[in-house]
Structure 1
């Protein structure tokens, strides 16, 4: 019997074969299943989306236990590789050691750890506190992660927020190179500029060998074709589109019901109950009932 390919190796295989892995955010097992059905290559277990799901700001209020439990639940409902967004690693290098063991055990393909101080503030908010830890301290976090994973297939992605913090490209490149030297498998560089110019410049000037990951939320005009053409970007993450789409759809449906005093006008705009049953795999339940229940 052949051994099943690890999720991390599956992600690497996608990158090798296609040049770019397309990863969509999810915040629940249901949204994870929809990501897979849509045809994406992986799932981003988003801290931002989970915070929003709980009605909380993305400022390190969601605990590791909450995020880990949801990520584990998503992993049971999809065969796609999951990249877990674990913010700062939930503390210092000691916290990272614990987190790495738990997330690897949960069956995810990779974790992303960012170089902000704990507690963090979400990256795209205007005027938010964006303090970074010293480079040496973050190198220690990367080393702790690498030393405590059980398989090299479990990827450690180091995320620099230097551009988000307004520290400039030189600082971002210096930090990325230092994180590569510490052993990171990939480098995620983030930007809140509304055009891709800042990221494109970073990528063109990147002299390291480690693949680059981007999250073009603030600069959506960056297409997958453009990312591929830059040559060094290997993962493109759609970072919060699932929760935003969900919010808009619910707002529209709820407003329609209030406006018309009933649900008679929205039947064609929402999923049928039979579609919910399909996603819940009710057909399997009926088959099992016929087979096993007297």
Structure 2
């Protein structure tokens, strides 16, 4: 009832232990706190909070328009509704190195288990779009060093995302990833790789956990869990999948009302009231209310 039972510290330790197990951790992107509960109920390993999804929720494109406060607040709302560890997209850290350090501390306080910081210039772009650019090596390294210095809980997972593959090529992206690890990153998120061969090249070059982004309509084909496991990936995110499914269904439902004058034709595709109340743990709230208001000495 109310919020998840495990503490943020316990969830961070759980994430570290799961990474050490060697198995692939599957983290769908939650588009709100309720969907995070559904992700947990279905048996996934963690919850991802996508910057693209958070921007879209606000009706904004994913070009760095959101603020640290908006991201921290929403990510915290998601994280506290699930016992799973939550990993959040912290974009470029929302400013200069000192801002990056403050961002990491804010995410720690909000209950996140980790975040990723990227090496794009501002204004940033979605990692699978053309026309993006990355900062120079020293600026990229300063961001990660600042994140490491700002971190207070050593179990908070700091993931360095590099978008260098699309800008400078695969070899340069691997070299940058190595430098980011040397700067203190716990894991690497190589964005917009084009296929299994490139994932394999990163795996051969680095001995830290690697994150694979399986986003629809991206640069490469969608790899299966087995394929990613065989390639040695450690985390896979599905950042916008649930939002796209939900918005697709919402679009069809509104069309049905316009076409027929009623939603009757799509009721069988809806989550039922009973299913919603079960996911919300409605009965526990009623029990809590009764225990408090019927209590007598």
Segments of structure 2 that go 5 or more residues without pairing to the other structure are 1-5
1:192 shift after superposition = 5.7
Contact 2:141 2:183 in 1 (8 A): yes
Q: Which runs of 5+ in 1 are unaligned?
A: none
Q: Is the CA contact 2:49–2:239 (under 8 Å) kept in the aligned structure 1?
A: no
Deviation at 1:213, TM superposition (A): 1.1
Change (3 A) 1:92 1:230: same
**Superposition deviation, residue 83 in structure 1:** 0.6
Match of 2:3 in 1: none
Per-residue CA deviation, residues 83-104 of structure 1 (Å, 9 max, x unaligned), is 1100100112111011011111
- The alignment partner of 2:251 has SS state of helix
Match for 2:209 among 208, 211, 217?
Answer: 211
Q: Distance in 2 between matches of 1:18 and 1:173?
A: 21
Relative to structure 1, the CA distance from residue 268 to residue 80 in structure 2 (aligned partners, 3 Å threshold; closer, same or farther) is same
2:29 is paired with a residue of what secondary structure? Answer: strand
Spell out the pairing of 1:44-123 with structure 2 (5 A cutoff): 44-123=48-127
- 8 Å CA contact 2:113–2:156 kept in 1: the answer is yes
1:161 aligned onto 2:159: no
Ranges of 4+ aligned residues in structure 1 off by more than 6 Å: none
For 1:92-130, what per-residue CA distance to the aligned partner results, in whole angstroms no more than 9, with x for missing partners?
2111011011111111111100000122111123x3x31
Q: Deviations over 1:10-66 (max 9, x none)?
A: 112222335211111112111111111111111111110111111110011111111
Instruction: Please tell me the root mean square deviation across aligned C-alpha atoms, in Å.
Output: 1.8
Instruction: Decide which structure has greater helix share.
Output: 2
Cα offset, 1:228, TM superposition: 1.5
CA distance in 1 between partners of 2:144 and 2:10 (Å): 21
Moved more, 221-230 or 48-57: 221-230
Structure 2 CA distance for partners of 1:263 and 1:216, relative to 1, 3 Å? closer
The TM-score, its normalising length taken from structure 1, stands at 0.91
